Structure 1
Amino acid sequence: MAIKPIILSGKEFVNHDELSYPFEERGLQFGDGVYEVIRVYSGSYYLLNEHVDRLFRSAAAIKIALPFSKNELRELLDQLLEKNMVDMDAKVYLQVTRGSAARDHAFPADVAANFYAYAQELPRNLVAMKSGGSVISHKDLRWDWCYIKSLNLLPNVLAKQEAKESGCVEAILHKDGLVTEGSSSNAYLVRDGKVFTHPAKENILHGCVRMRVEQFCRDLDIPFVEDAFRVEDIQYADEMFISSSTAEITPVIEFDGKKIGNGVPGEVTQKLQHAYEQDAGIPMANSLFESMERQNA
């Protein structure tokens, strides 16, 4: 007699065809997949090409064959905004896994990748970007190939939760005393007018906004130094900030309960924020600096 297809889901026994989720899905069972989060401003993508390129790099690194070309994906993502009538600030999450197949560590044969993408409204966090936030330090417990934007995020999740419980916006990760990045961001230290950050190696995510920060620094004649700084270096920093697609460029004004610099967002950070807004085409009505001017008026 064949085994019946009955699944224990929560406290109920159901036929596997009645489940609301695919129980034999490699992203669910192994974290066998990659993802991207793309920022949208006033209904238009920011850094779309960079995110698409990185998705393809991540998929290739773990040998997932994507079901479309880069051009086809860009067209589909444009249609996603159109069909959802996205005309505000938002984010688009996209994920691809190796597919659905019987659970086995080895790759399944002839299984198509699973892909989905969706849009959610996401207003800019002008308060955090204007006033800055506090962060904590946290040991970097992740694997060594963080340049792959994979679904294996449990160490990141635990670090971020610890930061949240501490009333902080981010956890700054460090390994052997060297700062790598944040739990969901890249991290930077400013001293003597220079911006320091960890080199774009395999053990950090090559952030799309990070690439722009480097470009902004070149345009503004701000030295951009790819040299990992140590946790103890932060006490001597003039400024600190983090960057990501959702955090944009957010000043850090306190590290492990100790004030950084003067305890307010610094001049270099604000210059980079202004360059970001110009590059992203942020309208003046939604500008960080317009909100500052209104507050000071």
Structure 2
Amino acid sequence: MERTVYLDGQFIKESEAKVSIFDRGFLFGDAVYEVTAVLNGLLVENEGHMLRLQRSCDELQIALPVTIEQIIAIQRELIKVNQLDEGGIYLQVSRGNAGDRDFAYPSADVKPTLVLFTQARSLLNTPKATKGMKVITTEDIRWKRRDIKTVGLLAPCMAKQGALDKQVDDAWLIEDGYITEGSSNNAYIVTQEGVLITRALSNDILHGITRKALLELAEKENMKIEERSFTVEEAYQASEAFVSSATTFVWPVIEIDGKTIADGKPGSVATKLRNIYIELALQTAE
């Protein structure tokens, strides 16, 4: 079935959706995006995604063309018309079409381009959640404002493809000897002493919505938490490693750079956090 998508005020068939070649999202990557998970036809942690969307737009001086309330209504309509039960909704706001190519921001009367579409996929039952994933480490060559969720994702795409070329699942990015995050997820390790470690929030990493929820859940479970940078060697020696994102929730990492983590099986911390996060998501999705 051909999807219905949303483009600048219209719900139309995906084959009919067209964006100008002069759109700044196409020419400059001058755009931001969000992906919200959908479970049982309901939006998961969407409030956090909308707050981050607004922050990203504010940081880049992009004015949302509609209100947050209108965006949520669009999301729900797309879920309905596309009969989406499980998967995600992609949302993108670009600075719009100024009618030509120019590095300078266009005048305020240029309306931003708003695009949303659904993606059906299995979130609850995935092999990587039960069997774990393998990653390699690679240099982090991204820009210095990774806290803004822009569509400028060429470096993460290169990292991901580099991992796939080596027949593993993903890449963890390294800067100055420390792990920043995964190509499209936040990264965590658990020490042999049971301490959960993930990099502290800054401009160096994306402020993950799932990350925030997981740390709150871990605190409620009386887990010891350290928000700090960790080295590749610490990751090799960890008792567990895992990643989180909006549509993976929690996926265990069982191998890094060919080195098996602990016994090479998903650990108890990652498994527990995934289970209680999904339980919370199912209870609070709207």
Q: Between Structure 1 and Structure 2, how many residues are aligned?
A: 263
Aligned to 2:95: 98
**Letter of the aligned partner of 1:210 in structure 2?**
R
**Letter of the aligned partner of 1:77 in structure 2?**
Q
**Letter of the aligned partner of 1:150 in structure 2?**
T
Aligned to 1:171: 171
Aligned to 1:130: 130
2:86 pairs with 1:89: yes
Q: Taking structure 2 as the reference length, what is the TM-score of the superposition?
A: 0.89
**Letter of the aligned partner of 1:170 in structure 2?**
D
Structure 2: distance between partners of 1:264 and 1:120: 30
Aligned to 1:156: 156
Aligned to 2:223: 222
Q: Alignment RMSD, CA only?
A: 1.4
Structure 2 gaps, min length 5: 1-16
* CA apart distance, 1:142: 0.3
Q: Equivalent of 1:61, from 54, 59, 62?
A: 59
Aligned to 1:270: 271
Aligned to 2:282: 281
**Which structure 1 residue ranges, 4+ long, deviate > 4 Å from structure 2?**
none
* CA apart distance, 1:84: 2.1
Moved more, 104-113 or 20-29: 20-29
Structure 2: distance between partners of 1:182 and 1:50: 20
- Give the 3-state SS of the residue equivalent to 2:35 in structure 1: strand
Moved more, 124-133 or 189-198: 124-133
* CA apart distance, 1:141: 0.3
Alignment of 1:106-145 (within 5 A): 106-109=104-107, 110-124=109-123, 125-145=125-145
Structure 2: distance between partners of 1:21 and 1:214: 39
- Give the 3-state SS of the residue equivalent to 2:135 in structure 1: strand
* CA apart distance, 1:134: 0.5
Alignment of 1:26-65 (within 5 A): 26-65=24-63
Higher relative CO (Cα under 8 Å, sequence separation at least 6) belongs to 2
Structure 2: distance between partners of 1:250 and 1:96: 29
Aligned to 2:251: 250
Aligned to 2:188: 188
Report the identity percentage: 37
Q: Is the 8 A contact 2:187 2:198 kept in 1?
A: yes
- Give the 3-state SS of the residue equivalent to 1:164 in structure 2: helix
| Larger of the two Rg values belongs to structure | 1
- Give the 3-state SS of the residue equivalent to 1:221 in structure 2: coil
* CA apart distance, 1:20: 5.4
Structure 2: distance between partners of 1:274 and 1:139: 32
**Letter of the aligned partner of 1:166 in structure 2?**
K
Q: Taking structure 1 as the reference length, what is the TM-score of the superposition?
A: 0.86
Structure 2: distance between partners of 1:27 and 1:64: 12
- Give the 3-state SS of the residue equivalent to 1:281 in structure 2: helix
- Give the 3-state SS of the residue equivalent to 2:115 in structure 1: strand
Q: Is the 8 A contact 2:87 2:247 kept in 1?
A: no
**Letter of the aligned partner of 1:64 in structure 2?**
I
**Letter of the aligned partner of 1:103 in structure 2?**
R
- Give the 3-state SS of the residue equivalent to 1:199 in structure 2: coil
- Give the 3-state SS of the residue equivalent to 2:158 in structure 1: helix
Q: Is the 8 A contact 2:149 2:206 kept in 1?
A: yes
Q: Is the 8 A contact 2:190 2:240 kept in 1?
A: yes
- Give the 3-state SS of the residue equivalent to 2:222 in structure 1: coil
* CA apart distance, 1:72: 2.1
Structure 1: distance between partners of 2:120 and 2:71: 21
Deviations 1:139-160 (A, max 9, x none): 0000110000001111000000
Structure 2: distance between partners of 1:260 and 1:230: 14
Aligned to 1:146: 146
